[in-house]
């Protein structure tokens, strides 16, 4: 499987990485290489390679980590996306076959709320093609990206928010191969919100998953 996992984090959010790694190891395929794009500090774990270029813009750090990815595709996720559903090797294999066949550059794995106002042009094998004029073409929701495509869209000066907003504006009417698979249930719990505030229900989630 020509796929790696890339996790974006920073020193200030390092406290969320132990549970994040534990849940990725529980719910994502063991055979996927795992790279963490951090800043200056790492948490030792045999399954994870850390890229630590130092303090700097989020986009620059993501670019340096992406340059370490050796696979054609990368599953790009963030430190506070706590996985809660099993995503099997067979599931990822099926998605990669779809991406190869349809020449997809991005495939987002997320139930999309109506308020996000995503726009679609067609449905292929239950997977929706995003319209080139849609909102959130470059959202940071968990997604499989063609590695070279994500590297091309990721500018060094970006923050996560500007990647989503400015990146989507720049991609508007330029990208026609972004897709969304409309899952029935969320595959992750967004543990932290803006301002480093924990999401309502975080204690119950940790208890359900047997985490401290």
Q: Of 31, 45, 38, give the one whose Cα is nearest residue 6.
A: 38
List the domain range (segments joined by +) for residue 62: 3-209
d(CA 164, CA 158): 9
pLDDT at 116: 66
CA 15 to chain centre: 19
**Residue 115, pLDDT above cutoff 60:** no
* CATH number of the domain within which 97 lies: 3.90.550.10
For the residues 166-187, what does the mean pLDDT come to? 88
pLDDT at 135: 85
Tell whether the model's pLDDT for residue 113 goes beyond 80. no
Confidence class for position 114, pLDDT limits 50, 70, 90:
low
Instruction: Give the span between the Cα atoms of 24 and 27, in whole angstroms.
Output: 5
Q: What is the DSSP string of 176-200?
A: --EEEE--SS-SEEE-EETTTEEPT
Under the banding of pLDDT at 50, 70 and 90, the label for residue 111 is low
Mean pLDDT computed over every residue of the chain = 93
Q: Is the pLDDT of residue 112 over 70?
A: no
CB 196 within 8 A of CB 12: yes
pLDDT in the model for residue 1? 62
Structure-model confidence comparison of residues 124 and 107, the more confident one: 107
Please tell me the predicted confidence (pLDDT) of residue 185.
Answer: 83
Across the range 177-193, mean pLDDT stands at 90
pLDDT tens sequence across 63-94? 999 999 999 999 999 999 999 999 999 999 99
Residue with tokens 């932290």: 192
Q: How many domains does the chain have?
A: 1
């Amino acid at each position: 499987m020509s796929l790696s996992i890339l996790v974006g984090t920073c020193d200030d959010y390092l406290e969320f990485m132990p549970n994040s790694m534990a849940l990725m190891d529980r719910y994502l395929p063991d055979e996927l290489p795992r790279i963490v794009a951090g800043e200056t500090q790492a948490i030792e774990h045999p399954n994870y390679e850390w890229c630590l270029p130092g303090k700097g813009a989020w986009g620059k750090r993501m670019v340096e980590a992406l340059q370490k990815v050796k696979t054609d595709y990368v599953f790009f996720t963030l430190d506070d996306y706590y996985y809660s559903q099993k995503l099997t090797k067979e599931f990822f294999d099926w998605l990669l076959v779809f991406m190869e066949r349809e020449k997809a550059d991005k495939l987002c794995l997320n139930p999309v709320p109506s308020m996000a106002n995503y726009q679609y042009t067609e449905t292929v094998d239950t997977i929706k093609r995003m319209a080139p004029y849609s909102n959130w073409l470059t959202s940071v929701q968990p997604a499989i990206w063609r590695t070279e495509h994500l590297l091309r869209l990721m500018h060094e000066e970006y923050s996560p928010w500007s990647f989503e907003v400015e990146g989507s504006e720049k991609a508007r009417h330029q990208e026609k191969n972004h897709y969304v698979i409309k899952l029935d249930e969320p595959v992750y719990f967004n543990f932290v919100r803006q301002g480093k505030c924990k999401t309502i229900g975080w204690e119950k989630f940790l208890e359900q998953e047997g985490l401290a």
